[in-house]
Structure 1
């Protein structure tokens, strides 16, 4: 008996313990499909062939469903909803930043929130000056904050104001400022009620001039 028997015994105990743990996870109240997928990946489980407990609410009994090709489309819909929620959350942060606007001369408050590809958000507001040309737009303040912290790759920026009748639109200078860090990232132009329209930097500033243009070889002018 000796060692082989002991090894077999330990394997049996480990198997029972693991199965019990997974069963508890599957039937825990409030368990969601996304959470089970994550657990499955870490534990090398194939959830596509496993029954998954999916409770309708915390107070109801778990209901068993099976992941199939037909309901896999639901995951895509939920993912798109999450992206939409992300846009609104970014706009909300821009609206919050607007509250700190220093605009004693124009009384025109603007806030902005920029999202990096690392998932970090920076916010800013417009800052006016008695010497009018020295005023700084919210977009410039926000992007500058991010750059000063070492971030230069941006995914999206949201702009908010107090206007209800139209979407806030960045000035020409801000469009060029955004263009410095890419032409294909997203700009959310919003209204005070949170509604918004989505555009790309390239759409706001077509046929633009950017860093790549300075890398092109200069054309020699024929005398």
Structure 2
């Protein structure tokens, strides 16, 4: 893992920060935003949406994937995630990693924290043996 310094990815992180402002997180008070780029360079945003029945909560990453697929994307290239409550850059949860793996063999994953720390990793680094058909 390395510090993110790619200007295009810094742009994705800024968009993820903006998306986090639209999160619905009344139970955890931990809003998360995601900005997802497809292979055509189109960007799709997502935010976590919590539910009183916590198992029905949707993570920001899966929210962004749903928007991307509904918007016509088929292959994903990169995702950035951000929370203003995070002390360290975040990693997607296992469920989100598996959903991302449905639409990408590998992809860049960028994350940022409120104190300005950024991190770059990849899907294969975080989920080296994704379940595939």
TM-score clears 0.5: yes
- What is residue 186 of structure 1 aligned with on the other side? 108
Alignment pair present for 1:122 and 2:44: yes
Alignment pair present for 1:89 and 2:29: no
Equivalent residue in structure 1 for 2:22, among 95, 100, 108: 100
SS in 2 for 1:193: coil
Once the two structures are TM-superposed, the CA of residue 197 in structure 1 deviates from its matched residue by 1.1
Once the two structures are TM-superposed, the CA of residue 194 in structure 1 deviates from its matched residue by 3.6
Equivalent residue in structure 1 for 2:72, among 133, 137, 150: 150
Structure 1 segment 53-68 matched on structure 2, within 5 A: none
Once the two structures are TM-superposed, the CA of residue 183 in structure 1 deviates from its matched residue by 2.8
Say whether the 8 Å CA contact 2:87–2:115 is kept in structure 1.
no
Aligned residues: 129
Task: Considering Cα pairs closer than 8 Å and 6+ residues apart, tell me whether 1 or 2 has the greater RCO.
Answer: 2
Once the two structures are TM-superposed, the CA of residue 195 in structure 1 deviates from its matched residue by 2.9
Bigger Rg, structure 1 or 2: 1
Task: Structure 1 unaligned segments of length 5 or more: list them.
Answer: 1-82, 215-223
Q: TM-score, normalised by structure 1?
A: 0.55
| Range with bigger deviation, 182-191 or 138-147 | 182-191
SS in 2 for 1:192: coil
Alignment pair present for 1:173 and 2:104: no
Runs of 4+ in 1 over 4 A off after TM superposition: none
Q: TM-score, normalised by structure 2?
A: 0.91
Determine which structure has the larger strand proportion and give its number: 2
* Structure 1: distance between partners of 2:30 and 2:86: 13
Determine which structure has the larger helix proportion and give its number: 1
